[in-house]
Structure 1
Amino acid sequence: MTYSHLDSAMQNRVSWHTGRTVGTKRPLTQKQIRAIRFYLDREKRFRDRAPFDLAIDSKLRGCDLVKLRVGGLVAGSEVRTRAMIIQQMTGRPVQFEITADASASLATWLLRRSNTIDKFVFPSRILLGQPLSTRQYAHLVDEWVTAGGLRREDYGTHSMRRTKTAMIYRMTGNLRAVQILLGHSKIENTVRNLGVVVEDALVLVERVEI
């Protein structure tokens, strides 16, 4: 629904995004990741370190990350090096790696609670038997970026999803690889996720000598 600028009731109306940063959220840099990890370790926030590391490794949307179950990440007593889920939004499968940092923080977190393979890795503290909500996850991300000295208006849950793929793209320029990692059905979605602009394309072209 639109409003006429001639409507007197709309003269002093404030736009919903006034004072807010809208659009694609920024990915984290390696320096910012180290700063946040240092803070979480110093404060002994084991429950936060595990989803932070896994969010970066998995590149999952928040709705998929919070619903991960123990059985999908653990084989016997060991944390898997790779895992796969069916994405809630697209219904498409996507694989992701679990690197040493995420594996160690996950193992530390899981040792501190009783686990069965059907339990959620990150359970809600409010609703018994339910996973952490996406709203609660968003609050955690706000705390992490603020602790890292960043403006939370510039970062969000999608920053976690974009961080590793942005690094991969800058290193390789391989959009197709990033598309597969994110589980996108269309390359246009990958371009939008990365915030690829004309300047990026020109830089890649300039690297090629014929």
Structure 2
Amino acid sequence: MSSNARQDQSAKKSLDDYLAVLATERRLSTHTLKAYRRDIEKLIAFMDQRGVMLWQGLNSHNVRLFAASLNSKGLNSNSIKRILSSGRGLAKHLVSKGALKNNPFDDVRAPKGEKRLPKTLSVDQIVSLVELTLDDPLSYRDKAILELFYSSGLRLSELCGIDLNDLDLSESILRVTGKGSKQRDLPIGAQANKAIRDWLLQRNVLPIKDFDALFISKLGTRISTRNVQARVQYWAKRQGVEISVSPHMLRHSFASHVLESSGELRAVQELLGHSNISTTQIYTHLDFQHLAQVYDDAHPRAKTKKPK
């Protein structure tokens, strides 16, 4: 076996070992692990092109050259930052295994880029979006989806993963499983609560195949993320919302509107499930009763009596 072949095999084994650790200890999703792999394979390819030995030749100088090469390819600062973060994690793993003496990424920073505020909808646009004409089971389902996105600030994957037993409609509480398999309890606004109850009555009309899933497709299987994205875009156009709308925009709108009304930044961070992000670690955890009170006082569509 040639030295290059042995090096490629060694690099692949190091990467596979590191991803296995991430999957086991941090319980990252398959999608996230694939993103880590793509990022680190860029680093491996760059080192290979320069004829640098892996991993002994991985030093701060080469890491800076790697970052510069990413910038020259037109990647934005956020993408470069993410790729360097993936490499930093791998290097830390290699240090723990004795394959590196120190982490060469510690002294390298990605170029700073402009901070762009996420796009949001106004309250009037939200009202226009969710006031659907209900004439078939799928329209009831879609109204419940739209209301719940805005009601509780869910991620797309969180909404699609909701099971019936995650709901407590009598108490207006929803349990969701977020990133890293972390669970959190969220309040459900009165409008969303009613929309879900109406959908559950219509749900039985469809040929149910996935009995656990709250939201199912017209074929009766758990609704997919792509299906939800398409339905949100469909209704935005049909309801006359003049900008492109995504599930993530509804999440941002939820956060922006509650924060503007309440000023409770820590509560919004908890509601969004950002506890694993380093920039939110300074915030203390708030109990659910406090979160629910902030939500009820601030959310534009929560100020209605709960259905009996």
Return closer, same or farther for 1:124/1:43 CA change in 2, 3 Å cut-off: closer
Q: Percent identity?
A: 25
Distance, in Å, in 2 between the alignment partners of 1:121 and 1:148 is: 24
- Among residues 49, 54, 61, which one is paired with 2:143 in the alignment? 49
Q: How far apart in 1 are the matches of 2:233 and 2:175?
A: 27
Greater share of helix: 2
Any stretches of 5+ residues in structure 1 without a counterpart?
A: 5-22, 191-210
Aligned residue-pair number: 164
**Structure 1 residue runs of 4+, over 6 Å off?**
none
Question: Is the aligned partner of 1:181 residue 2:271?
Answer: yes
Aligned positions of 1:196-207 closer than 5 A:
none
Which residue is 1:125 aligned to?
Answer: 218
Q: RCO greater where, 1 or 2, for CA within 8 Å and sep 6 or more? A: 1
Equivalent position SS for 1:158: helix
Q: Which residue of the other structure, out of 79, 101, 104, is the alignment partner of 2:194?
A: 104
State which structure, 1 or 2, has the greater radius of gyration over its C-alpha atoms.
2
Alpha-carbon distance, 1:187 to partner: 6.5
> Pick from 147, 152, 161: which aligns with 1:67?
161
Q: TM-score, normalised by structure 2?
A: 0.47
Aligned-residue RMSD, C-alpha: 2.9
Shift, 1:133, TM fit: 0.8
- Letter in structure 1 aligned against 2:119: R
How big is each residue's C-alpha offset from its partner over 1:156-210, in whole Å with a ceiling of 9 and x where there is no partner? Answer: 11012122211111123332111111110237379xxxxxxxxxxxxxxxxxxxx
Match of 1:58 in 2: 152
2:234 aligns with 143
Q: Secondary structure at the match of 1:124?
A: coil
Q: C-alpha deviations, 1:2-45, integer Å up to 9, x for none?
A: 559xxxxxxxxxxxxxxxxxx6652222211221233x136562
* Structure 2 partner of 1:12: none
1:27 equivalent in structure 2 = 120
Task: Check the 8 A contact 1:27/1:160 in 2, yes or no.
Answer: yes
Give the direction of change, closer, same or farther, for the CA distance of 1:112–1:172 in structure 2 (3 Å limit): closer
TM-score when scaled to structure 1? 0.67
For 1:200, the equivalent position in structure 2 comes to none
